[in-house]
Amino acid sequence: MSLISLLIALAAERYLSSSFWQFNTYYQRYTRFIQRTRLLESGLLSVLGTLMLIFLPVAAVYGLLWLIDDSLLHLIFSTVILIVCFGCANTRASYKKYLMSAYRGELSSCALMHAQLRSDKNIPEMGFGQTLVWLNYRYYIAIMLFFIFLGAPGVVFYRLVATLAENPGKDQSCDAPEEGQAAEAQAVSGNETQDAEMSETAEEAGAQTEQDEPQAQQALINEAASPCQQFLFWLDWIPVRLTSFGYMLVGHFSKALPVWLESLFDFSKQPSAILVDVAQKSEDLMVDSEDCTAEPCLLVRLAKRNLLLLLAIISLLTLSGVIS
């Protein structure tokens, strides 16, 4: 059943591009719900508040799956969760725009899109192809591994932790124009009604206080990113090493093996650095330095081969009865 869900989700994710099938849509609604209900107060922040923020939706998904007795409905619900958590439409769009700009020779546009993608995903300094390798792991390989071992609740858990660790405040940017328009309307109204009574001034002050409260709640959610980043380091520790081992199998094993062994028990090196280093050694990158499309295309093809390898391994484990 896990293999069927994975195959359906991988086939459907590319074509279901509406906001209904995007994880960020539900993440934004969830964080707005947290802000309105004030479930996160300063006294509950740090570890306890972060755990509550993460485990509420995970517990909801686990409870719904536990209540579903029909295996077909269980499969459908798990597959829908997997499709929603799979991939990132913004990353795919940035990759296509990058290639189009590169083919037109607009190198400055390529650099801007690369910098914007790194900023949005809170990724350290690395090349565009290396960034795509890491995001392929984050939005596909890691999701698949957590689904196989922990099911749909594990997928929701990992995706929530990863999203909070990236930069939770950026997902709420859609509210900024409304706040800006409200501020302009208040300024214009103040200029036109200079002789208004003191009661109206008090009401405006109260309205401003109400606007500051969601901002304070958003600040609390943003602070949850710090423990999530530390926790995500350990969540990625084993999956990154398994994924990088797959890169060796589909690439140059002998060249990448020393790098993989060197990082195997390194507890200080970031998971993104380990994955990128092994991927680079697993693929020939003898390309023209002026061709900014060569490295991304080569590394993306390597990542696709690794994903197919993982699917083949899951298929063999399913046929042998190791996983269901």
Residue 198 lies in a domain: no
Q: How far apart are CA 59 and CA 277, in angstroms?
A: 36
Residue 237 lies in a domain: yes
From first to last of its 324 residues, what are the pLDDT tens digits of the chain? 789 999 999 988 888 878 888 998 999 898 888 777 765 554 444 567 778 888 999 999 999 999 998 889 999 999 999 999 998 878 888 888 888 888 888 888 888 988 888 888 888 888 888 999 999 999 999 999 999 999 999 999 999 999 988 865 454 433 333 334 444 444 434 444 444 444 444 444 444 444 444 555 555 556 666 677 888 999 999 999 999 999 999 999 999 999 999 999 988 899 999 999 999 999 877 666 667 788 888 899 999 999 999 999 999 999 988 887
Residue 191 lies in a domain: no
Give, in order, the Cα–Cα distances in Å from 318 to each of 3, 70, 140, 312. 7, 21, 19, 10
The per-residue pLDDT for 197 is: 45
Residue 33 lies in a domain: yes
Residue 99 lies in a domain: yes
Hey, what are 279's tokens?
Answer: 């991927």
The dihedral over CA atoms of 269, 270, 272, 275, expressed in degrees to the nearest 10, equals: 30
Q: How far apart are CA 283 and CA 275, in angstroms?
A: 13
Residue 75 lies in a domain: yes
Domain count, the chain: 1
Residue 211 lies in a domain: no
Q: Which of 224, 282, 296, 274 is nearest to 250 (CA)?
A: 282
Residue 181 lies in a domain: no
Q: How far apart are CA 293 and CA 128, in angstroms?
A: 9
3-state class (DSSP) for residue 63: helix
Range of the domain at 123: 2-172+216-319
DSSP 231-300: HHHHHTHHHHHHHHHHHHHHS-HHHHHHHHHHHTT-SSS-HHHHHHHHHHHHS-----TT-TTHHHHHHH
| Model confidence, pTM | 0.81
Within 10 angstroms of residue 110's Cβ, the number of other Cβ atoms is 21
Sign of the C-alpha dihedral, residues 130, 131, 134, 137?
A: negative
